[in-house]
Chains A and B, each alone.
Chain A
Amino acid sequence: MSNESNFAPKKTGAKSFHRKDLILAIILVAFGAFVYSEANKFPPAPLVLGDTINADVFPKILVVILIFLTAIIPFEFKITPEKVAKIDKERDDKTIPITWITIVMLLTIVSLANFLGAVLTMFVTCLIFPLVWGEKNYIAVAIYAILFPGFVYLLFNQLLGLYFEPGLMEIFKK
C-alpha cells in the first residue's frame, strides 16, 4: 500500500441515513412515545355517555401518524435530495452567538416583566436590544427608549384602555 493512499479521503459507500435527521427523528419519536404514554393514563369515558370515543383515541392515532411520518425523515434525502440539501444548508449555518444572546435576553425580559411592569419592561427592551445588537448611535437609542414606550403607553393604555401592570412603577406612584 502506498503512502498516498493512506492520506487520500476514504471512499465510503452511499449513506444509508441522514445523521442530523436521524437525531431529529429520535427526538420526535421520543416525544410521540411520551404523548402516547400520557394518553394511556386518560380515564375511559363514563358508561352513561354510551358509545362515545375515549379521550385517548384521537391523540394516539395522531402519535401513530407522527411516528410513521417521522420514520421517513432520516431517509428523506434519498427521496428529495435537493430539498434536504437546502435544509442542510440552513442547518450548517450555525446559530450565531447574537441569536443565543437574543434568546437569553427575551427570556430574561419576560421573566422580569411582572416585576418591572409594562412601561419599564418596554423601556428596558428599547434600551437593551439596540445596544446589545451593536447600535452605536446612543442618542438615537435614548430617544427611541423614551419615545417608543411612551407612544405605546398612550396608544394602548390611554386611548384603547388596555390595563398595564404597574410593577415597579407602583413604588413611584406611592
Chain B
Amino acid sequence: MEDVIRGFGLILEFKNILLIFGGVLVGVLVGALPGLSSPMAIALLMPFTISLDPVASISMMAALYCAGTFGGSITAILINAPGAPPAVATALDGYQMAKKGEPGRALGLAAIASVLGGIFAIFIFLLATPLLAEIALKFGPVEYFGLTLFALSMLAAMSGKSSIRNLIAGVMGVLVSTIGVHLATGVERFDFGVDELTEGIKFVPVLIGLFAMSELLNQSKTLNDAVERMSAKALKLPTLAELKKLKGTILRSSGLGTFIGILPAEGSTVAAMMGYNEAKRWSKEPEKFGTGSPEGIVGPEAANNAAAGGAMVPTLALGIPGSGTTALILAALVMHGFRPGPYLITETPHLVYAIFGAMLFANFGFLGIGLVGAKFFSYVTFVPKRFLWPSVFIFSLIGSYAYSSAIFDVWVMLLSGIIGYFALRNGFSPAPFVMGLILGKMVEETFTQSMVIYENNFLNFFDSGVFIFFFILTFVSLSTPFWGKIRKKFSSAK
C-alpha cells in the first residue's frame, strides 16, 4: 500500500502531471493523424527523455500509448481513415453513424467505451502484475529461456501480413541484437572494424528509422490523397440508459481485450477486431452492424483500449512486451537503467504504480480532451503531408542524433528506415523485428546460462516442467496459423 501511495504521489507532482498531460495530447494528436502512430511518437520522444526523471518519462510514454489508441478513433469516425490500425474496426460502424448525422454521438460512444475498457484493464494490471512477477521470481534461466522462446513464437500469430515473415523479421531482430561484444566471452561480433558497432546497434535510432522513416517513404506515394471529413461540433456522451444497454458489450470486450493484451506479441488491433466480432455475435441486432450500430463502436473501442492496458502486464512483470508499443516502453525502461521483469516490482514497485497512475490519469485525460477538442483533432487531418512529413524527418534527425551525439546513429536511423520500407513492401512488419531486437539479448543470455547449467545439452532443458510447458505453448503457437488451413483442406477433401 505504501508503494501505491508513493507511486501515485510521484504522479501528482505538478511537473509530472504536465508531462503526462503532454503525453495524452501528443498521443491523441498522433493517433488522429493517419500515418503517424504511437510507436512512432514514443520512438521519437525516447531520446529526449534521457535527461528526464525516469518515472516522469515512462509515465508520459504510458499516457501517450493509452491516448494514441483513442486518437485513432477520431479520424476513423470522422473521415473513415483510422489514424491507427486498432481503430480499423471502429470505422466500420463509427463512420456510418457519423454519416447519418451523429458524429458527436459516435465519438462519445468511442470515448466512453475506451475509458471503461482502459480502466478495466488497469485494475487487472494492478492485480495481475505482482502475481505474475511473484511466479516469475521463481524462474531460473531455463524457464526464462522457455518464456522468451514462447514470446518470440507468438510473433507468428502477431497481426501482420504473414506468420512466416513475422517470424523471419523476429529472427532478424534477434540476429541484429548479437552485434557487438559477446558478454560471456568478450569476443567482438559482426563489428567489421567499425568502432561504433562494438557496443552493438543502439535500438533507439533503429526504432525511429523503422517507425518514422519507412512511413515517410510510404506517405510520399500518397501526397495528393484527399479526405472527406464529417464535421463534429463536440463529443456527445451517451446517456445512462444507453450505457446500461451497452454494458454487456463493454464488459465482454474489456475482458477479451485485456486477455489478448496480456498475451505476448498480440496487440490492440487483434483485440479490436475480436471485440467487434464478439459484439456482433452476442448482439440481438447483428444485422445492424456496418450501418452505424452503437455496439459496433463500443465493442472494438473497449477491447483495443483494454488491450493497451493488458499489454503492460507481461511487459512490466516478465520483461516480455505485449505489443509493438510496449516493446518501445520496455526499451525506454532499459534506457533508463531499469531491469524490466519481476525485479522491477520487487526493487522499484513505486515505478510500476506510477505507470498505473499515469495510465489511469491518461484515460480521464483523453476523455476530457475528447469532450472539448474533438473538433480541433478532426482539423489536424488538414495539415498538408508536404509540411507534416519533413517535420517528422527533422524530429527523427534530432532524436537519433541526440541519443548519443553521433552522426553514425543518424545513418543507422536512415538506413533502418530505407530497409524497413522495402521490407514492409515484401510483407515484413517492423513490430516483430523490434520485439526480436529488444528480446534478443535476454534470449541469448538465458540460453547461454541454461546451457552452462545443463552441461551444454539442450535436451536436459526438458528436466524443467516449466520449460516443457512453454515449449508446448511455443509449438502450439507456431502451428496455430496453419491449423485452420489444414482443417479446411481436410474438410474439402472429404
CB-defined contacts of A1 to chain B, threshold 8 Å = none
A53 near B456 with CB under 8 A, answer yes
B185 near A45 with CB under 8 A, answer yes
Interface assignment of B397: CB less than 8 Å from any CB of chain A: yes
Flag B215-228 by CB within 8 Å of A: 1 or 0 each: 01100110110000
CB-defined contacts of A91 to chain B, threshold 8 Å = 425-426
Q: Which of B449-477 contact A (CB under 8 A)?
A: 451-452, 455-456
Q: Which of A67-119 contact B (CB under 8 A)?
A: 69-70, 72-73, 76, 79-80, 83-84, 86-87, 90-91, 93, 95-96, 98-99, 102-103, 106-107, 109-110, 113-114, 118
User: Which chain A residue shows the least CB distance to B167?
Assistant: A69
B185 near A49 with CB under 8 A, answer yes
B402 near A103 with CB under 8 A, answer no
Check A133/B386 contact, CB under 8 A, given A46-B185, A52-B452. yes
A53 near B426 with CB under 8 A, answer no
Check A129/B390 contact, CB under 8 A, given A45-B185, A49-B184, A52-B185. yes
CB-defined contacts of B48 to chain A, threshold 8 Å = 156, 160, 162
Check A135/B386 contact, CB under 8 A, given A69-B171, A102-B216, A107-B414. yes
- Tell me, rounded to whole Å, the shortest Cβ–Cβ distance linking B312 to chain A: 28
Flag B386-414 by CB within 8 Å of A: 1 or 0 each: 11011101110110011001010011001
Interface assignment of B482: CB less than 8 Å from any CB of chain A: yes
A42 near B168 with CB under 8 A, answer no
Q: How far is the CA of A28 from the CA of B426 in the complex (A)?
A: 12
Interface size on A, residues (CB 8 A): 66
Q: How far is the CA of A44 from the CA of B174 in the complex (A)?
A: 21
Q: How far is the CA of A74 from the CA of B171 in the complex (A)?
A: 18
Q: Which segment, of B158-166, B248-256, B329-337, faces chain A?
A: B158-166
A96 near B168 with CB under 8 A, answer no
Q: How far is the CA of A22 from the CA of B191 in the complex (A)?
A: 29
User: Which chain A residue shows the least CB distance to B453?
Assistant: A51
Q: Which of A51, A62, A90, A98 contacts B174 (CB 8 A)?
A: A62
A58 near B390 with CB under 8 A, answer no
CB-defined contacts of B385 to chain A, threshold 8 Å = 133
Interface assignment of A152: CB less than 8 Å from any CB of chain B: yes
Interface contact tally, CB-CB below 8 A: 162
Q: Which of B161, B174, B217, B482 contacts A99 (CB 8 A)?
A: B217
Interface size on B, residues (CB 8 A): 61
- Tell me, rounded to whole Å, the shortest Cβ–Cβ distance linking A126 to chain B: 6
Interface assignment of B381: CB less than 8 Å from any CB of chain A: no
CB-defined contacts of A79 to chain B, threshold 8 Å = 482, 485
Most chain A beta-carbon contacts within 10 A, residue among B161, B386, B456: B386
- Tell me, rounded to whole Å, the shortest Cβ–Cβ distance linking B188 to chain A: 9
Q: How far is the CA of A129 from the CA of B394 in the complex (A)?
A: 11
Q: Which of B148-181 contact A (CB under 8 A)?
A: 161-165, 167-168, 171-172, 174-175, 178
Check A52/B223 contact, CB under 8 A, given A42-B187, A69-B164, A121-B397. no
B171 near A65 with CB under 8 A, answer yes
Check A134/B386 contact, CB under 8 A, given A28-B168, A96-B221, A125-B393. yes
Check A125/B217 contact, CB under 8 A, given A52-B448, A62-B171. no
Most chain B beta-carbon contacts within 10 A, residue among A69, A109, A156: A69
Check A110/B184 contact, CB under 8 A, given A51-B452, A53-B448, A103-B217. no
Interface assignment of B444: CB less than 8 Å from any CB of chain A: yes
Most chain B beta-carbon contacts within 10 A, residue among A42, A114, A133, A148: A133
User: Which chain A residue shows the least CB distance to B182?
Assistant: A55
Q: How far is the CA of A77 from the CA of B331 in the complex (A)?
A: 35
- Tell me, rounded to whole Å, the shortest Cβ–Cβ distance linking A103 to chain B: 6
Which 6 pairs from chain A and chain B are nearest by CB?
Answer: A55-B187, A129-B390, A87-B427, A55-B182, A45-B185, A130-B386
Chain A contact residues, CB within 8 Å of chain B: 24, 28, 35, 38-39, 42-43, 45-46, 49, 51-55, 58-59, 62-63, 65-66, 69-70, 72-73, 76, 79-80, 83-84, 86-87, 90-91, 93, 95-96, 98-99, 102-103, 106-107, 109-110, 113-114, 118, 121-122, 125-126, 129-130, 133-135, 140, 144, 148-149, 152, 156, 160, 162-163
- Residue pairs across A and B with Cβ atoms less than 8 A apart, 12 shown, are A42-B187, A45-B185, A58-B444, A59-B178, A66-B175, A99-B221, A102-B220, A106-B417, A107-B414, A125-B390, A134-B223, A152-B398
